[in-house]
Amino acid sequence: MVLVAPSDFGPRGGFQLPGVVVIDVVGVLQQVPRQHGDDIGMVTHPGPINMEHELLVLQEDMVVTTPSYHLFKMFREHGGADIVECAATGVPVLAPMECPALRACCSVKRGGREATLSVINLALSDDLDARFAFEGRRVERVQVQTLACEDIHAENSAAAPSRVSPAEQQVTLRDGGVEHEFPAHSVTVFRLGLAG
């Protein structure tokens, strides 16, 4: 079991994540480097329509949302929040990349009473069990969405517009923390209510 433990509830370096509105992706991505030029090495964005890594695909008479669109929508909860330190222990290391299989990002809002934790499982074939807890806080409520598909090359189309789309999942609350199984090759976003 892996422990993911967001610990520091103050903003890191005073940097706040910008609110991302899908319609204004280009504007946001132009604004961020200007405001945080010292913190960012490179900025890129998906093309909004009918491009590689697009947000929307126009096929036949349909507008189809893509996995990139769903990621933007899931990650918008980080907008306007303070980034907090997030550490994972016991995470398998993926070869040959030599990087941890689980990558996490955490942010808090409303004086630390609400948190968003995004976890990416980079392992292509292994589901990973993990537990996460917040130092000095207790998780009281949680909502979870996971974006995953067994076929890593899957995409949405007019014939299958929801092939890759977020699904609500159940989690186990135990001892003030959360236990969860992260599907292989997935992105999971937790919206948490905290007390303490």
The pLDDT score that the predictor gives to residue 14 is 33
The pLDDT score that the predictor gives to residue 61 is 81
pLDDT band for 49, please (50, 70, 90 cuts). Answer: low
The pLDDT score that the predictor gives to residue 193 is 93
pLDDT band for 48, please (50, 70, 90 cuts). Answer: low
Residue 16 has pLDDT above 50, yes or no: no
Please answer whether residues 72 and 55 qualify as being in contact, where contact means their C-beta atoms are separated by less than 8 angstroms.
Answer: yes
pLDDT band for 20, please (50, 70, 90 cuts). Answer: very low
Nearest to 191 by CA among 89, 73, 100: 73
46-55, 128-137, 157-166: which is most confident: 157-166
Residue 117 has pLDDT above 90, yes or no: yes
Sheet holding 86-89, edge to edge: 86-89, 2-6, 128-132, 177-182, 172-174
Domains of the chain in sequence order: 2-12+47-144+159-195 (2.60.40.1180)
